[in-house]
Amino acid sequence: MTKMATAPKTNQFFDINKFPKEEGILFFGISMSLIGNKQSAEKCFEYLKWIDTKIERTEGIGMVMWYSDYLYFHSDQPANILRDRYKDLMFQHKNGFLNLVLKDNVWIKKAFSFYTFGQVMLDNSEVFLPAWHKVLQMYEKDNLFQKYVEEDCKKTEHGLGERAKTFILEEIITLYLAAKGQLDFNNRFVLGTEQWILQGYPGKPLKSEVYLFQKNPLRLSNPKNQFENSFYDLESRILYDYSRLDIETFDFS
């Protein structure tokens, strides 16, 4: 008699066994504060090579990197100084990553795309703006949502002002829309035919992000994406499923 597999428990998560064979999009949101360490070009390439060990067969995977330079303009520092600083960091990061990719002909250059959050929001403005207004209305009425955003502001050391809260909200809305299949990734290898979408980031998710996915204020569904409520921690190699994550008892530290 075959023993049935036990379903994962609440707050019990593991690594990905293997990626789907269907076409998909893997995207990394690159934080300017981590671009020189946990998300350096070298570290991102290491993450990619680890993910490659989880791919047995594939019809094609596009990798997209989003640089959060636009979000950091919510800072009190002069915009011109931030622009020059982050422009140089992005150029160095992209070129450094591609240099590593091109050293091995197993990788296809056009499978890799690079954008800023500002570009992503502009390219998808017809989707982002209505979502922004809807989530903002939810935020203004939901004390628990406000609490989680404030806690995330402290955790990420962005401060507690309105700019910091806007920073968090814009970020999690974009990630929510991406997983739900609402965004155009403009990848030259997987041309809008992706069957799955997964975010990868070194570290645990934000409380406010998990809460937004669980509340699903836009009532979005992307059933073809088996990762539509998921987040992959590149550092700990754990796939989090937000539908099984209890915010109040999960250790976000």
Confirm if 45 and 97 have CB atoms less than 8 A apart: yes
Whether 159 is covered by a domain: the verdict is yes
| C-beta atoms surrounding 157 within 10 Å | 8
pLDDT for residue 89 is more than 60 = yes
Which of 20-34, 69-83, 163-177 shows the lowest per-residue confidence on average (mean pLDDT)?
A: 69-83
Provide Rg for the chain, Cα atoms.
18
Task: Residue 162: name the closest of 179, 178, 149, 148 by CA.
Answer: 149
CA distance 44 to 90: 13
Looking at residue 232, which CATH number applies to its domain? 3.40.50.11710
Whether 14 is covered by a domain: the verdict is no
Whether 9 is covered by a domain: the verdict is no
pLDDT single digits (tens) 198-241 = 999 999 999 999 999 999 999 999 999 999 999 999 999 999 99
Q: How many residues does the chain have?
A: 253
* Model confidence band, residue 72 (pLDDT cutoffs 50, 70, 90): low
pLDDT in the model for residue 79: 74
Whether 80 is covered by a domain: the verdict is yes
Whether 112 is covered by a domain: the verdict is yes
Percent of the chain residues topping a pLDDT of 70: 93
pLDDT for residue 2 is more than 50 = no
The DSSP output letter for 133 is H
Whether 156 is covered by a domain: the verdict is yes
Domain count within the chain: 1
**What pairs with residue 115 in β-bridges?**
66
pLDDT single digits (tens) 95-134 = 999 999 999 888 999 999 999 998 999 999 999 999 999 9
Whether 59 is covered by a domain: the verdict is yes
Q: Please indicate whether residue 4 or residue 14 has the higher confidence score (pLDDT).
A: 14
Whether 3 is covered by a domain: the verdict is no
Q: Which domain holds residue 75?
A: 24-244
